[in-house]
C-alpha cells in the first residue's frame, strides 16, 4: 500500500514536470516521461498503477532493448539535472521448471544431448541451448549374453530410464537493473527476461 502511494506521488511530481523533462526524444504517456517512470516502476515490479504508466514504461524499455539501445534513456528531474544513480547488466540465462533437469548439449554431437536418448533430442533444444526433462528410473528383467543363440539368455534386472516432460528451457536474454548501487537502500530488479 505504501509503495503504491509513493509511486502515485512520484509519478504525479514527474507529470507536473511536464513536457521537456527527459531528453529531446523522450517518450511520454499522459505527460509522464517514460524513462523516469521506468526507474520508479522497477522497484514495484511494474505494478498496475491504474493509469497504465508502468506497463507503458515496461514496453518502452523492452522496445529500446530490442532496438539495441540502453534500457533507459535520460530521466531529467524537475531541477533540470539528469538522474543517473542506476546501473544495469545484461546477459542470457536458461532454466528449467522445478523438478526438471537440464540436459546440456553434447559437444561431440551438435544434433543432440548426451543426457537424453536419441528419440528425445530434437526439436526440444536449439543449438547452444539446453533441454529440460524428468528422468525416472525403473527396473526391467532383460536377456543379457545370449550371443545370438536362442535359449542361451542370462536374464538379469537392469535399471533403465523413462524420460518425461521433455521441453525446451525457459529464460533467454535478460536485464538486471540496480537503483542506487552501492547504497544501503539499493534496489536490484533481479532478472527481467525479454
Q: How far apart are CA 124 and CA 102, in angstroms?
A: 12
| Residues with Cβ within 8 Å of residue 137, at least 6 apart in sequence | 159, 160, 161
Closest CA to 54 of 22, 6, 87, 89: 6
Write out the chain's pLDDT in tens, 194 residues.
334 444 444 444 444 444 443 344 567 776 788 999 999 999 989 998 888 999 999 999 999 999 999 999 999 888 889 999 999 999 988 888 898 888 765 555 544 445 555 544 444 444 445 678 888 888 988 887 666 666 677 788 888 888 787 777 888 889 999 999 999 999 999 999 88
Closest CA to 169 of 128, 109, 117, 115: 128
pTM equals: 0.61
- 156 - beta bridge partners? 142
Examine residue 99 and say whether the peptide bond preceding it is cis (omega within 30 degrees of 0).
no
Q: How many CB atoms are located within 10 Å of the residue 103 CB?
A: 24
Amino acid at each position: 500500500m505504501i509503495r503504491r502511494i509513493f509511486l502515485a506521488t512520484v509519478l504525479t511530481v514527474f507529470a507536473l514536470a511536464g513536457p521537456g523533462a527527459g531528453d529531446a526524444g523522450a517518450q511520454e504517456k499522459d505527460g509522464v516521461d517514460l524513462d523516469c517512470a521506468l526507474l520508479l516502476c522497477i522497484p514495484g515490479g511494474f505494478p498496475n498503477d491504474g493509469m497504465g504508466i508502468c506497463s507503458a514504461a515496461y514496453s518502452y524499455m523492452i522496445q529500446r532493448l530490442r532496438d539495441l539501445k540502453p534500457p533507459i534513456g535520460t530521466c531529467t528531474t524537475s531541477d533540470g539535472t539528469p538522474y543517473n544513480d542506476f546501473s544495469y547488466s545484461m546477459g542470457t540465462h536458461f532454466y528449467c521448471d522445478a523438478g526438471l533437469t537440464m540436459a546440456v548439449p553434447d559437444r561431440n554431437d551438435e544434433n543432440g544431448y548426451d543426457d537424453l536418448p536419441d528419440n528425445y533430442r530434437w526439436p526440444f533444444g536449439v543449438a547452444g541451448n539446453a533441454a529440460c526433462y524428468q528422468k525416472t528410473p525403473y527396473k526391467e528383467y532383460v536377456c543379457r549374453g545370449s550371443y545370438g543363440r536362442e535359449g542361451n539368455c542370462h536374464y538379469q534386472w537392469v535399471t533403465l530410464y523413462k524420460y518425461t516432460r521433455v521441453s525446451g528451457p525457459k529464460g533467454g536474454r535478460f536485464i538486471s537493473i540496480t537503483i542506487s548501487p552501492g547504497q544501503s537502500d539499493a534496489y536490484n530488479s533481479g532478472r527481467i527476461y525479454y
